[in-house]
């Protein structure tokens, strides 16, 4: 027998005496330890399900993107209240010729957002990025507006100016009126004489 | 040895995710481990804390468990380490302090068969408990690791950081003192 492996005395009788001579952990203690042992295995079970949950997450993300792409491609429905609440100037802008729309195409060609969480109402209002893109094409739009102004009759143009003023866009109305006066000098005076 | 060590097999099953194996493993070892810790720390509340900490370490170490020795050897080593940590935190008590002797003796609660037998057995248990409490700490640790934990002399030497001869000497002194305290009630070799 190797040194240290021999038994200096028989431990059996001593163990029996020790076993008969003590208490034991409480049931509450037993429950706590067994619960801890069960909890410790929970992450192990979780790891087993990780690939499944990952695949489910990827599938869900793909579905959401697809839904968003199809949703952004569909035209936003315009309600009757939208038409009624639109200012006259906007109504006039909507009647702009195709040239103006063509010049604004770069903005329209921007890729749709991957996840557009805006409400239908806010979608109808230009998003900040979209507004920026629109402002970037403003010179082209202005040219289109100028050519549009030139193609209008003085009566139509003046009516549009009055509509601007009525809607509160006074500065634009004044600027437009100045352009109108330079384009049709004396027309306004004669018009006012005819319609006092 | 590993093939016959049922506790080690249960631990391996638990590490593989079988919680029932742990329940069985715990049931097989809970009482002995609790007694071991109770006799070392000699305080009821501390015994609960150390006992729970010990099993927490067993649970936490399941991923690193390798059956290179008997499971109980590993378990009682952890328990001894937990006791030493407890002593370090709370301030080690004097080796011969016996203020808890009566309380320890009161934990003797094994069933007996008759009033006279009860009285005799209770007396013997009380004597053993008091005698254990009076042992120098090194001897008490060595004796409990040997008798309760089932560690060999070499394992006790390794666990307590001494040589095999020192461990064996502590065991002999401990048994001699216990026999002296128990008198006729002491086990016969």
Could A19 and B31 be called an inter-chain contact, meaning their C-beta atoms sit closer than 8 Å?
Answer: yes
In this prediction, residue A186 carries a pLDDT of 86
**Would an 8 Å CB–CB cutoff place A18 in contact with chain B?**
yes
Residues of B in contact with A32 (CB under 8 A): 52
Residues of A in contact with B143 (CB under 8 A): 14
Instruction: Reply yes or no on domain B114-184 having CATH 1.10.10.10.
Output: yes
Of A23, A33, A44, the CB nearest to B26: A33
Query: Would you say residue A98 has pLDDT above 50?
Result: no
More confident residue, A150 or B50: B50
Considering only alpha carbons, which residue of chain A is nearest residue B176? A9
Considering only alpha carbons, which residue of chain A is nearest residue B171? A8
In this prediction, residue B175 carries a pLDDT of 93
C-alpha–C-alpha distance, residues B142 and A4, integer Å? 13
The pTM for the full model equals: 0.53
In this prediction, residue A121 carries a pLDDT of 53
In this prediction, residue B91 carries a pLDDT of 77
In chain A, domain spans: 25-73, 84-194
Could B32 and A19 be called an inter-chain contact, meaning their C-beta atoms sit closer than 8 Å?
Answer: yes
What are A2's two structure tokens? 């190797």
Instruction: Judge whether B35 and B128 are in contact, CB under 8 Å.
Output: no
Could A4 and B51 be called an inter-chain contact, meaning their C-beta atoms sit closer than 8 Å?
Answer: no
**CATH fold of the domain at B1-93:** Rna Polymerase Sigma Factor; Chain: A (1.10.1740)
Instruction: Judge whether A41 and B13 are in contact, CB under 8 Å.
Output: no
Q: Which of A7-21, A181-195, B7-21, B103-117 has the lowest mean pLDDT?
A: B103-117
Sorting pLDDT into bands at 50, 70 and 90, what band is A81?
low
ipTM over 0.90: no
C-alpha–C-alpha distance, residues B99 and A30, integer Å? 28
Considering only alpha carbons, which residue of chain A is nearest residue B112? A20
DSSP 8-state secondary structure symbol assigned to residue B108: -
Could B157 and A4 be called an inter-chain contact, meaning their C-beta atoms sit closer than 8 Å?
Answer: yes
In this prediction, residue B8 carries a pLDDT of 94
C-alpha–C-alpha distance, residues B111 and A20, integer Å? 8
Task: Please give chain B's pLDDT, 189 residues, in tens.
Answer: 445 689 999 999 999 999 999 999 999 999 999 999 998 988 888 999 999 999 999 999 998 898 888 899 999 999 999 999 999 988 765 443 434 444 444 444 434 445 555 555 566 667 888 889 899 999 999 999 999 899 999 999 999 999 999 999 999 999 999 999 888 877 876
C-alpha–C-alpha distance, residues A59 and B90, integer Å? 55
In chain B, domain spans: 1-93, 114-184
Burial class (CB in 10 A: 0-12, 13-18, 19+), B171: buried
**Would an 8 Å CB–CB cutoff place A117 in contact with chain B?**
no
The structure tokens 């697809």 sit at A66
């Amino acid at each position: 027998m190797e040194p240290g492996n021999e038994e200096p005395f028989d431990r059996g009788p001593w163990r029996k005496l020790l076993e008969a001579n003590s208490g034991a952990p409480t049931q509450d203690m037993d429950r706590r330890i067994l619960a801890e042992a069960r909890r410790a295995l929970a992450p192990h079970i979780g790891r087993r399900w990780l690939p499944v949950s990952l695949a489910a997450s990827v599938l869900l993300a793909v579905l959401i993107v697809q839904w968003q792409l199809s949703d952004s491609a569909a035209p936003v429905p315009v309600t009757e209240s939208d038409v009624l609440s639109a200012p006259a100037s906007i109504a006039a802008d909507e009647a702009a010729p195709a040239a103006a729309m063509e010049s604004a195409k770069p903005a329209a060609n921007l890729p749709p957002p991957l996840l557009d969480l805006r409400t239908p109402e806010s979608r109808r209002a230009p998003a900040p990025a979209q507004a920026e893109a629109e402002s970037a094409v403003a010179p082209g739009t202005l040219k289109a507006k100028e050519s549009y102004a030139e193609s209008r009759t003085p009566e139509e143009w003046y009516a549009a100016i009055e509509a601007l003023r009525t809607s509160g866009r006074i500065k634009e109305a004044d600027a437009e009126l100045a352009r109108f006066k330079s384009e049709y000098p004396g027309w306004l005076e004669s018009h006012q004489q005819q319609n006092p | 040895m590993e093939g016959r060590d049922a506790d080690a097999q249960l631990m391996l099953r638990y590490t593989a995710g079988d919680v029932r194996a742990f329940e069985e493993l715990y049931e097989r070892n809970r009482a002995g481990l609790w007694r071991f810790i109770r006799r070392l720390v000699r305080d009821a509340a501390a015994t609960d804390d150390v006992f729970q900490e010990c099993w927490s370490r067993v649970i936490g170490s399941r991923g690193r468990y390798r059956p290179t020795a008997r499971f109980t050897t590993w378990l009682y080593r952890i328990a001894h380490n937990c006791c030493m940590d407890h002593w370090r935190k709370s301030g080690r008590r004097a080796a011969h302090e016996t203020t808890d002797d009566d309380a320890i003796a009161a934990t003797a609660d094994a069933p007996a068969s008759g009033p006279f037998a009860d009285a005799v057995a209770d007396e013997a248990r009380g004597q053993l408990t008091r005698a254990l409490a009076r042992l120098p700490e090194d001897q008490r640790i060595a004796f409990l690791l040997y008798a309760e934990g089932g560690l060999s002399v070499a394992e006790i030497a390794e666990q307590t950081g001494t040589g095999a001869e020192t461990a064996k000497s502590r065991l002999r002194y401990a048994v001699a003192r216990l026999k002296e305290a128990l008198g006729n009630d002491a086990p016969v070799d």
